Amino acid sequence: MAEMSMGDRFVMVGDSITDGGRERPVGRAPFGLGYGYPALVDAMLTAEYGDLNIAVINMGIGGDTSRDVSARWTRDVVDLKPNWVSLMIGVNDVWRKFDHPNAPELHVPLAEYRTLVENVVAGMLTQVKGFLLVSPFFLELDSSDPMRAMVDEYRQAMDAIAREYSLPFFDSQKMFDHWMAEHPALNLSPDRVHPGLFGHYVLAKNLVEEITEAGWL
């Protein structure tokens, strides 16, 4: 199994949760990674594996759906020649159905979501050492809540892709559910979607644990 090597590039892709106010056009360390989990992942890798000089690159864009990520994949991922990639996408695919119910052109159906994510995965596997899929999440423990129930469907679709391609899958919803059993959701996020610092720390800590268990480190 491949492991991270000296000078490898780790490109992290996603929506506003990943973006975190990163530098444009490319979010790079030490000061351009934004305030969210990519910056914390970089800090953890630097602290524990500083001799490897891993280059974490943040390519999140606020508001993105899987449709948007797919459209910019070549420019924002392939052209950066990453060795490792993580992708967390899906909450906006669901959210647009709730915050823009009368704009169906913004909605990404579940079947399209699965096709788009699978296409970027399949097209990238021969070009990278590792690809981590990170599930979308909604910080609501009630699984009957309409948005939580729909996020679960998209999360399960991503899990199915990970299983099909034997990729590591970080189930962030399951992880946050564990934390919400003991901490109020407001401690993690003011709107149940965008984490605060505590939420980003939990996300980063568990993501590093996931890639360690996957043999990347």
Q: Where are the alpha helices (DSSP H) in the chain?
A: 16-19, 37-49, 66-76, 91-99, 110-124, 146-164, 172-180, 185-188, 197-213
Query: Is 171 an annotated catalytic residue?
Result: no
Q: Is 144 a catalytic residue?
A: no
Tell me which of 70, 152, 194, 200 is the catalytic residue: 194
* From 15, 16, 19, 42, active-site residue: 16
Element (H, E) at 81: none
From the candidates 5, 143, 178, 191, which is the catalytic residue? Answer: 191
Q: Is the dihedral of CA 71, 100, 58, 172 positive or negative?
A: negative
| Catalytic status, residue 191 | yes
From edge to edge, which strands make up the β-sheet containing 130-134?
27-28, 55-60, 9-14, 84-88, 130-134, 169-170
Q: How many helices (H) and strands (E) does the chain have?
A: 9, 6
- What's the sign of the alpha-carbon dihedral 137, 139, 144, 150? negative
Active site residues: 16, 191, 194
